[in-house]
Structure 1
């Protein structure tokens, strides 16, 4: 039986520290990342996503190449981006790369398209930041046209047109599974609905409950556009250890390094341990703790938003490979089964309430009919 819910892992290929504290070379981080994906496949997880960055803290600038290596070492796990920065790439080449990955992996490729939260790719590839919004909108429009795998005739303002053009290789079975990743913009949510594409909510700070209205907006927009219902997924950071305290103590120094580094660039103040622990609390967006703590928090967030997939961003700054492997092991063997239990219990309770409500409605209708007949 196909499971209603899916659970995955995401990584940005963060450059990590060795057990002795020395920073690993990018090449070793890439090799370690492949081993992390192999473990995820062995544990039966549903998805493994790799982000794209072009800066020294992250080892992955070509996710599809790494995903191709992983495809050759895995059997069932779906493989995709987290996210592909479509604004500074070419939609035709993105489609070709993921269609190639799909063929190599036997139909396991997915792509998550987004604008990204870093801007290094724009000057690197010769794009103007002043066209940040226009680039994504135009390129998503072209990518959506490519998904039908029919000859494409298309014209825009920022890219040369296509005239009755087929793109190769074709996806072997059906369509390439394509999501749109958003960070909290209502306009981005409506845009995803306009194209009828599944939605990934990147919830990296604050309460996940803040995103429930966006998920509802997305569902309403799908209906208004006449599109079929589509899944909603959550992407959030986390780390799992044997106890809550061990998880927080292990993760904190690595989390602090990466948040403070990014914060200096963006004008934030230094992150505090108090803020860190608040994010790891019941209502925050950091899923750090024991397996039971994290499982309950994931189940709650998925219920609140109506999500059917949760992707844990398990890499966090310089957090060592060995610690991440332990976290992946706990996620796959303890957290995910427990989340499934919690969601199954909640779904069963909902079904009972729905049945009771339907019965009560039928009783009221019968009573009304009897009253009209004077019985």
Structure 2
């Protein structure tokens, strides 16, 4: 087995590859590393194929062209699956990651306790391009801060990293990334506890255009939600469920305020409750329990209404039992009602989690990506 596999995802990076590949090979030769270079291209309309064919005559380069799949993260996974090295290293093609640091990342990962190694911009000795403006720095820092629930690494969103093949393969079947931050996905799903960071000088791309966009930033938030659900499971689902429950309060009050001017109070109250319950159902179906959003909606809705009724009954029973059976709560009816709300919400959550939105298929099981990976094996 080879010592090292280097995976480089590309789209319209032909011009940069002509510079990058010789630099990578020079770094490998200087460090006496036995390695392969795998370029995974998303069927670029430029001359990537021709450039790689020419480079493959001089360097240990293999090209994988994907015609039915797009996206950096899935391209990286396709490369990881095709790799044969003991160490798997990922880097960008735009010359922002210095190939000269490859031996340092490999050496760090060879240490017994290391699970994951990052070419880091934010540890001592690392740097970003001087042309970075305040907005780009702020944007990067906020994105990094949002990853704090998952890792204490200073630069977990970097695209320059290395992982042991055996570590990767433990979690390969549950990878389900969204967007560009495949490194964070691997840290979380592979349960990498000892992350080592090697300082690098991060440069702006030399040729071509950046793939980062506002859409990708939204996809990053979606990715964080998936990782949050994966790592914290029921705690994550309950927090989302409770937050959506709070939005239902505002919907209820707004609808009651609007309808009370037109129809009788009992009907207005009933319609306001129905409206908030319906919006909560839709939000929970598409956000909290999104893994179940493809199930029949009408059946789910009826079951959800039943769970809400059950939660309301437990709410009422708890409130009445506390206020009528315990002297402490006789004069503290609001506290009893608050506890009743918590109990009712708890029962409602459990019914939603395990009955209304039951998980027949794991949310972390790969879908379309898994089909593609089977073709690369």
**TM-score relative to the length of structure 1:** 0.27
In our comparison, the structure showing a higher alpha carbon Rg is: 2
The structure carrying a bigger strand percent of its residues is 1
Higher relative contact order (Cα pairs below 8 Å, separated by 6+ residues): 1
The structure carrying a bigger helix percent of its residues is 2
**TM-score relative to the length of structure 2:** 0.27
